[in-house]
């Protein structure tokens, strides 16, 4: 039993190890530095990374060009391990909270990072991205996964100073079982969002159909179930930064300086 405990303790110290964090961060950085330099020269392979979730990209595109893309899953695994390492650090910190509460800011940043890594993984496994979907005014389109229906109600130009048209406002309505869930005037930087679903109008135009001019909008429809978790992680990180800054100046004013390990 004691041998098991000591084996577990050794594993736990490795998982919480600061040196492991440095090694993983360094390996992920070096891997991505080298790999990312291939990106501009191979747009056919790497440009769709923003158009698809990572799982679909790995299956549809990366497998066709393994020599160019192997570094992406390797870097992703290293970042996942780093996320696991930060979670273990946070748990270890919670177990010793009485003596380490002054480090709350730093550990909030760790926790936020872990949440963002989880959210990224979730969104890139269970989400979807669909860009350039044309929807006509008055048309209803079904959207997975909640049995939602999106309707484009109106497209109107918004004039800037001097009367020049600067952008288009799209009135979008989201329904489920004919009951209205949300209605917004979507425009640049103001999308329709609902539980991880984000609808962004990217362009608009008019086309003759059945002898009548019909207006349509091109929509980017993305679904990321981890988006709200990522936001929680970002808030945790932001708060962690503010607390860490405050405690840093407190420690420096009392003459405290990093210890040698």
Partner 1 sequence: MPELQHGLIYGAFFSYVVAVFLYVCHFRRRLTWLWRSAFVMVLLGFGLQTLCLALRWIIAGYLPITNLFNTQFFFSWCLAATYLYVELRYRIHGAGLFVMFCCLLLFASVLTRDPAIPPLIPALDTPLFTLHVTTSFAGYAFFAMAFSMGVLYLAQRWVGSSLLPELKLLRKINEEAVFLGFCLFTLCLIFGGIWAYVAWGYYFSWNIKGVWSSLVWLFYGGMCHAKFVRRWQGTGYAILSIAGFALVLFTYIGIGVLLSSNHPLT
Residues that bind partner 1 (CB under 8 A): 18-19, 21-22, 25-26, 28-29, 32-33, 36-37, 39-40, 46, 49-50, 109, 120, 129, 160-161, 166-167, 187-191, 193, 198, 200, 220-222, 224, 227, 230-231, 234, 237-238, 241, 244-245, 248, 252, 257-261
Least distance to partner 1, CB of residue 230, Å: 6
Tell me which H or E stretch contains 209: strand 197-209
Query: Least Å distance between CB 254 and partner 1?
Result: 14
Closer to partner 1 by CB, 63 or 209: give it: 63
Between 138 and 238, name the residue whose CB sits nearer to partner 1.
238
Please, which residue, 18 or 209, has the CB nearer to partner 1?
A: 18
Contact 57, 127 (CB under 8 A): no
**Smallest gap from residue 18 Cβ to partner 1 (A):** 5
| Min dist. Cβ of residue 113 to partner 1 (A) | 8
Among 179, 182, 198, residue whose Cα is nearest residue 190 = 198
Give the residue with the Cβ less far from partner 1, 185 or 214: 185
Contacts of 247 (CB under 8 A, 6+ apart): 102, 103, 104, 105
Distance CA 188, CA 160 (A): 13
Q: Residue 193: enclosing H or E segment and its boundaries?
A: strand 192-194
d(Cα 237, Cα 80) in Å, to the nearest integer?
A: 17
One DSSP character per residue, 148-179 reads EEEEEEEEEEEE-GGG-EEEEEEEEEEEETTE
**Would you say 212 or 257 has its CB closer to partner 1?**
257
Q: Are 150 and 199 in contact (CB under 8 A)?
A: yes
Task: For the CB of residue 21, give the shortest distance to partner 1 in the complex, in Å.
Answer: 5
Nearest to 134 by CA among 253, 214, 57, 34: 214
Minimum gap (Å) between residue 122 Cβ and partner 1 = 13
Residue with smaller CB distance to partner 1, 77 or 231: 231
């Amino acid at each position: 039993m004691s041998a098991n405990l000591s084996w577990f303790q050794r594993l736990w110290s490795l998982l919480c190890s600061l040196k492991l964090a440095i090694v993983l961060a360094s390996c992920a950085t070096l891997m991505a530095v080298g790999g990312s330099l291939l990106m501009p020269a191979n747009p056919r392979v790497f440009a769709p990374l923003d158009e698809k979730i990572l799982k679909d990209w790995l299956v549809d595109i990366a497998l066709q060009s393994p020599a160019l893309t192997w570094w992406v899953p390797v870097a992703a695994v290293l970042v996942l391990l780093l996320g696991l390492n930060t979670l273990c650090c946070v748990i270890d910190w919670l177990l010793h909270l009485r003596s380490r509460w002054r480090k709350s800011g730093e550990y909030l940043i760790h926790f936020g990072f872990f949440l963002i890594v989880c959210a990224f993984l979730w969104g890139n496994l269970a989400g979807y991205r669909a860009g350039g979907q044309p929807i006509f005014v008055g048309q209803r389109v079904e959207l997975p996964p909640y049995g939602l229906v999106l309707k484009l109600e109106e497209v109107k130009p918004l004039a800037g100073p001097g009367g020049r048209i600067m952008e288009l406002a799209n009135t979008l309505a989201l329904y489920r079982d004919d009951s209205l869930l949300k209605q917004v005037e979507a425009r640049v930087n103001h999308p329709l969002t609902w539980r991880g679903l984000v609808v962004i109008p990217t362009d608009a135009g008019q086309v003759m159909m059945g002898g009548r001019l019909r207006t349509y909008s091109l929509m980017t429809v993305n679904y990321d179930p981890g988006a709200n978790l990522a936001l929680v992680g970002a808030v945790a990180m932001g708060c962690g930064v503010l607390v860490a800054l405050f405690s840093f100046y407190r420690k420096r004013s009392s003459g405290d300086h990093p210890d040698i390990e």
